[in-house]
Amino acid sequence: MAIQSIGNSYSTSTTTTQSTTAAGGNLGKDAFLQILISQLKYQDPMSPMDSTEMLSQLSQLTQVELLTNLTSSVDSMTSSANEAKWISSIGKKIGVDTTTLLKGDEVSLVPNVDYDEITLTTKDLTTGELTKVKFAKGDDLTYTYKGSNPATYEIAATKDGSTVTCGSIAYKEVKGVYMTDSGPVLVFANNETYNASRVQLIKG
**58 plus 127 within the same structural domain:** no
Least-confidence region, from 45-59, 96-110, 121-135: 45-59
Domain of residue 152, CATH code: 2.60.40
**79 plus 99 within the same structural domain:** no
Least-confidence region, from 70-84, 162-176, 188-202: 70-84
Least-confidence region, from 8-17, 18-27, 77-86: 8-17
Q: Supply the pTM of this predicted model.
A: 0.56
Model confidence pLDDT, tens digit, residues 19-51: 444 545 555 567 767 776 777 777 666 666 566
Range of the domain at 45: 23-87
CA dihedral (38, 41, 46, 48) in degrees, to 10, reads 60
Model confidence pLDDT, tens digit, residues 170-186: 999 888 888 888 788 88
Q: Please name the residues in contact with 184: beta carbons below 8 A apart, sequence gap of 6 or more.
A: 82, 83, 86, 177, 178, 196
Q: Are 171 and 108 in contact (CB under 8 A)?
A: yes
> What is the total count of domains within the chain?
2
